[in-house]
């Protein structure tokens, strides 16, 4: 008995107190999680989200050393964090003043307009004899000539031999008629230049069809949305022949990067947009890029369809769908430190100290990459193993020590958990000087898709999203190959029918092969003219 209370009553109160403490602890964790999410959403809505505004970048490695950080390692970290704090604050708040660039007029046609003082010229515009010109003053203005439409009328002339006219009956005469040039799309009025203009307008300048229709109307012709849609679909169907070859070539590369991005797709049954995924694979050796759409799915089954038979090095983020390839014979998976760093950047607002410590470690890894930029792959591998590997070892110990002191559902807890779960994948880049530290190249390839969906908002259906994957693949490959997409597309749309008729190798029309032949033909023309 204590204060008149029985033992059972005391135990009941203790249990209740313990229950209340647990409830308070759970609520504190939930509050911290929601506060972190609120800060993140506010930043996403009103602030700058790109970690490019910070000077530090992420890296990768995993050794699973279970010892704790030493006092020297902790002291060095404190020193690095103090230095990084000033750098981070300065980099976030300072905005560089852009410098105005001089316009490059070298490729523009110049139209000269000569004007004289009133009354000094005759009816032909020549200076009157009583005046003498003593100099000129020049000014320049940039003008635009709106695009003009025209009808290309093909007139095929029929001819026969004069001797046939004189000696043969009409039914015996041989009439010579030139073959009708093959059109990009059979029985379609749109020529290759118009088809190219529609595709480039939609996917490079992100113009929906209704805006393009208005532009054509200003040019003097009215095109219905259904007609423009049919033209576009027919042209993409031809380009798909090249896309299929491109996809096969990329998946034969010994080193690829892979990522996914969302695209809203209209669900006609539910009458609303749903989230679909466009997969992107980059040939890291030559820059060729392909997008892939499979009913918008991001499932592991789609990853297996893409990479099931792949042999080589594959760099990706930590999406669980790629985990199935870990340890599979013939494929080596690498992780992306840029994704890791972003998660710690997101945690800066809620746990600045720990997030900054992580960013410091990641920054050291990127400093090594900067120092190794001009090295050979072998030299880069040696430097990574000498300098990056020890940093990752200490970073792993830091994650182990820190995770025990933070809330698992907090931003910093989630960042540590994400990083630690893929640490083996993140660490492997130190063993191969050809493999990049992050997935930024493929993210750059995806960027036009992100810009496009802000303008055309959604794809009308799965078929539309699939056609978008085809076009983005070919345009992205053109850009990485240094090929002007409009010039390339107009030329290959004209040539594809002839290649198919003659049974020629369509791979010759892929951007890199096309550029090589194009440059060779220009070289021959130059030599001939000389």
The domain locations on the chain are: 245-456
- Higher per-residue confidence, 75 vs 304: 304
d(CA 418, CA 342): 11
Which residue, chain included where needed, has tokens 């700058």?
A: 48
Neighbours of 342 (CB within 10 A): 17
pLDDT score at 337: 95
Q: What tokens were used for 435?
A: 């493999």
Lowest mean pLDDT among 165-179, 208-222, 298-312, 447-461: 447-461
Write down the number of H helices and E strands in the chain. Answer: 17, 5
Distance CA 439, CA 256 (A): 10
> Residue 21 pLDDT more than 70?
yes
d(CA 200, CA 39): 39
Percent of the chain past pLDDT 70, that is, above it, reads: 81
* pLDDT at position 380: 96
pTM of the model: 0.76
Q: How far is CA 244 from CA 239, 314, 357, 407, in A?
A: 9, 20, 46, 48
Q: Please identify which residue in the block is written with the tokens 């010759």.
A: 508
Q: Identify the weakest region by mean pLDDT among 155-169, 310-324, 372-386.
A: 155-169
Average pLDDT value for residue range 340-368 = 94
* pLDDT in the model for residue 452: 60
pLDDT tens sequence across 409-461:
899 999 999 999 999 999 999 999 999 999 999 888 888 776 665 555 556 67
SS (H, E, C) 256-288: EEEEEEEEEEEECCCCEEEEEEEEEEEECCCCC
pLDDT at 138 over 60: yes
The mean pLDDT value of the chain amounts to 83
DSSP state of 184: S
- What local confidence, expressed as pLDDT, does residue 47 receive? 44
Q: 289-293 and 331-334 as β-strands: parallel, antiparallel, unpaired?
A: unpaired
Residues 46-64 have pLDDT tens digits of 344 333 332 323 333 344 4
pLDDT at 310: 93
């Amino acid at each position: 008995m204590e204060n008149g209370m029985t033992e059972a009553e005391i135990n009941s109160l203790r249990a209740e107190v313990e229950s209340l403490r647990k409830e308070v602890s759970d609520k504190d964790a939930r509050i911290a999680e929601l506060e972190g999410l609120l800060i993140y959403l506010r930043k996403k809505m009103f602030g700058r989200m790109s970690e490019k505004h910070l000077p530090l970048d992420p890296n990768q490695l995993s050794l699973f050393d279970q010892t704790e950080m030493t006092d020297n390692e902790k002291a060095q970290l404190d020193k690095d964090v103090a230095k990084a704090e000033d750098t981070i604050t300065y980099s976030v708040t300072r905005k560089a003043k852009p410098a105005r660039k001089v316009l490059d007029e070298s490729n523009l046609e110049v139209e000269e307009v000569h004007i004289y003082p009133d009354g000094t010229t005759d009816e032909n515009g020549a200076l009157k004899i009583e005046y003498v010109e003593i100099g000129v003053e020049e000014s320049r203005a940039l003008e635009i000539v709106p695009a003009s439409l025209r009808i290309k009328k093909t007139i095929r002339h029929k001819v026969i031999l004069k001797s046939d006219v004189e000696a043969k009956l009409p039914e015996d005469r041989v009439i010579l008629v030139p073959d009708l040039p093959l059109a990009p799309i059979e029985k379609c009025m749109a020529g290759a230049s118009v088809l190219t203009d529609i595709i480039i307008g939609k996917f490079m300048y992100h113009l929906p069809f209704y805006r393009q229709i208005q532009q054509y109307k200003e040019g003097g012709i009215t095109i219905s949305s259904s007609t423009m849609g049919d033209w576009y679909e027919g042209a993409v169907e031809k380009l798909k022949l090249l896309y299929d070859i491109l996809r096969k070539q990329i998946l034969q590369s010994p080193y690829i990067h892979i990522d996914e991005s969302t695209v809203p797709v209209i669900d006609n049954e539910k009458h609303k947009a749903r989230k679909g995924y466009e997969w992107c694979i980059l040939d890291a050796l030559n820059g060729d890029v392909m997008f892939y759409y499979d009913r918008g799915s991001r499932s592991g089954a789609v990853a297996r369809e893409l990479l099931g038979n792949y042999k080589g090095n594959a760099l990706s983020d930590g999406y669980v769908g790629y985990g199935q390839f870990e340890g599979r014979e013939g494929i080596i998976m690498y992780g992306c430190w840029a994704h890791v760093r972003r998660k710690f950047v997101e945690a800066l607002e809620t746990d600045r100290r720990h997030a900054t410590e992580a960013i410091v470690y990641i920054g050291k890894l990127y400093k090594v990459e900067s120092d190794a930029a001009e090295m050979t792959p072998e030299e880069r591998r040696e430097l990574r193993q000498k300098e990056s590997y020890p940093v990752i070892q200490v970073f792993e110990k830091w994650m182990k020590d820190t995770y025990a002191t933070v809330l698992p559902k907090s931003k910093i807890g989630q960042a540590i958990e994400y990083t630690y779960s893929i640490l083996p994948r993140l660490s492997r880049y130190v063993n191969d000087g050809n493999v990049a530290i992050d997935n930024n190249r493929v993210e750059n390839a995806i960027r036009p898709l992100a810009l496009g969906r802000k303008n055309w908002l959604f794809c009308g259906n799965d078929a539309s999203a699939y056609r978008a994957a085809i076009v983005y693949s070919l345009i992205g490959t053109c850009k990485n190959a240094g090929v002007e997409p409009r010039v390339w597309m107009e030329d290959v749309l004209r040539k594809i029918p002839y290649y198919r008729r003659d049974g020629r190798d369509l791979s010759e029309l892929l951007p890199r092969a096309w550029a090589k032949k194009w440059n060779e033909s220009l070289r021959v023309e130059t030599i001939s003219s000389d």
